[in-house]
Amino acid sequence: MAAAQHGDAGAYERLLTSLLAPLRAFVRRRGVDAGEIEDVVQEILILMHRARHTWRADRPFEPWMWAIARNASTDALRRQGRERARRRVGTELPGERSPEELAGPPEANPEALLTASELTPALTEALSRLPAPQREAMELLYVEQLSVAEAAARAGVSQSALKVRAHRGSRALREALSAEDER
C-alpha cells in the first residue's frame, strides 16, 4: 500500500487483486445477496481507492481495510433491506404490478434498448433531450454498462442520487418513446 501511495500502479494492482477473494468471502459472510456480492466488492475497492491516503505506514493495513469493507457492506445491507421492504409493500397492495409487468415488453423498455449494440435514431434523439445529469446516469449504467458503484463514482454523486437520476431518465425516455410510437 505504501508503494501504491507513491504511485506504483503494478503494486497497487497486485494488492487489490490479492484482496478480491477475502473481500468476496467477507461480503458473503455479512449476508449480502449473492447477486450483489460483486457490486459490493467493487464499492469497497472504489472506497479504498478514494480513501487510500488515509492509511498511514505506521498503522496496520488490515484494520484499515476491514473498516472500509465493513462500512461499504453495511451500506449495501441497508440498501438491500430497504429494497426488500419496498418489494414487500408492493406485493401487498391490491392490483400492484410487478416491476417486470410495469416494464412491459423488452421493446418498450428503454434500458433494454440502451444496452443494444446500436441505438435507434429515436432513442438517440430522446436521450439527447434528457437533462444532462439524467442522460449521464443512463449512459453510464446502460450504454457503458458500469455498476451502480462505478457509475456513481464517475458522476461524482452518491449511489442513491445516481439511481434517482436513472429512474427519472428512464421514465422520461419511456414517455418520449411512447409519444413517438403514437405519432
Partner 1 sequence: MSARRSSEELIAGLAERLEPVRPVAPLHRQMLVVAAIWALSAAVVALWLGMHPLGVVERGAVSALLLAVLALIGLGGLTLGLAARIPGRERLALAAAAAAAAGLAAVVALGLALPGSAADAGPRAEWWVCFERSLLLAIPSGVLAVALALRAAPWRERATGLGLGLGAVSLGALLVHLSCPSPSPWHWLLAHALLPLACGVPLGLLAGWLMRRLGSSRHSVV
Closest contact distance (angstroms) between CB of 12 and partner 1 is 5
Closest contact distance (angstroms) between CB of 181 and partner 1 is 27
Stretch that binds partner 1, among 33-41, 91-99, 124-132, 169-177 (CB under 8 A): 33-41
Among 110, 123, 150, 169, binds partner 1 (CB under 8 A): 150
Q: What residue has cell string 401487498? A: 92
Long-range contact set of residues 165-172: C-beta below 8 Å, sequence gap at least 24: 165/133, 165/134, 165/136, 165/137, 166/134, 166/137, 166/138, 166/141, 168/134, 169/130, 169/134, 169/135, 169/137, 169/138, 170/110, 170/111, 170/138, 172/126, 172/130, 172/134
Stretch that binds partner 1, among 4-12, 99-107, 122-130, 175-183 (CB under 8 A): 4-12
Query: By CB under 8 A, is residue 100 in contact with partner 1?
Result: no
Query: By CB under 8 A, is residue 6 in contact with partner 1?
Result: yes
Query: By CB under 8 A, is residue 76 in contact with partner 1?
Result: no
